[in-house]
Amino acid sequence: MADTSPVVLVTGSAHRLGARTAQVLHERGWRLVIHYRSREKQASALVASLNGIRPDSATAIQADLSQMDEVRKLGEQAVARWGRLDGLVNNASVFYPNPTPEATGEDWDTVLHTNLRAPFFLLQACLSALQKNGGCVVNLIDIYSEKPLADHPLYCASKSGLAALTRSWAKDLAPAIRVNGVSPGAILWPEGEAAMDENHQRAILEKTPLAQTGTPDDIARTIAFLMCDAPFITGQILAVDGGRSLNM
């Protein structure tokens, strides 16, 4: 008998929040298309783990989301893998400081193309499959889309744009497709160039009513709720931030 389990593409799902989201959706019975850009080893390990739990339930596809042709190819390959697509989670993003006096055209292209252009054209590439199956889209926004973070104008603009797309799509693609967003607060501290020192982390927690960071499960379970348990919710952006947006 053919497997009729729903299929979801989660971008940037080889590690951190994306990986946990993939695992939680897999637990809820979804088949996973794991997208990654450079973390092939982590993506392969996650796919092997998921397939060990349920055979032929996960696959990985590499793509650089800053490149338009690779975005379209990712969408086409995701649909072709099992001949259907029921969900899309736009999780992948680029985050690093780019103060206005120093930001370059390359910064603009990297941040805006990955965080805003890619979700748009990826959904476009998957649109027919999502419409056919009454699909659901969840976009990862950020509380900084409404209250900007200093020296991150391009990142904040990209996430504000994605929030607007979320609401626009919810109107334009209804009733066939539901579109919502999740806006994390302090869940996992940034890594690499965007890393925050302890003073900055402490200042954030002081503005968070629950006085602690969240966990990847907080985000993953919210995404799963929107995709699996909320058939009458669309056009909403849920802040999962311990109340921090109250004090920004």
Please give the angle made by the CA atoms of 196, 201 and 207, to the nearest 5 degrees.
140
| Helices assigned H by DSSP within 9-145 | 16-27, 40-53, 68-82, 105-112, 118-132
Question: If we measure between CA atoms, which residue out of 144, 146, 139 comes closest to residue 118?
Answer: 139
Question: If you search the block for the tokens 């593409």, which residue do you land on?
Answer: 9
Instruction: Concatenate the DSSP letters of all residues of 103-114 into one string.
Output: --HHHHHHHHII
Considering 36, 96, 144, 155, which one is annotated as catalytic?
155
Tokens of 57: 């339930």
Known catalytic membership, residue 155: yes
Distance CA 10, CA 138 (A): 9
Residue 83 Rama label (left phi>0; alpha psi -120 to 50; beta): left
Question: If we measure between CA atoms, which residue out of 73, 24, 79 comes closest to residue 46?
Answer: 24
Distance CA 186, CA 215 (A): 9
How many separate helices (H) and strands (E) can be counted in the chain? Answer: 8, 7
Catalytic residues: 155
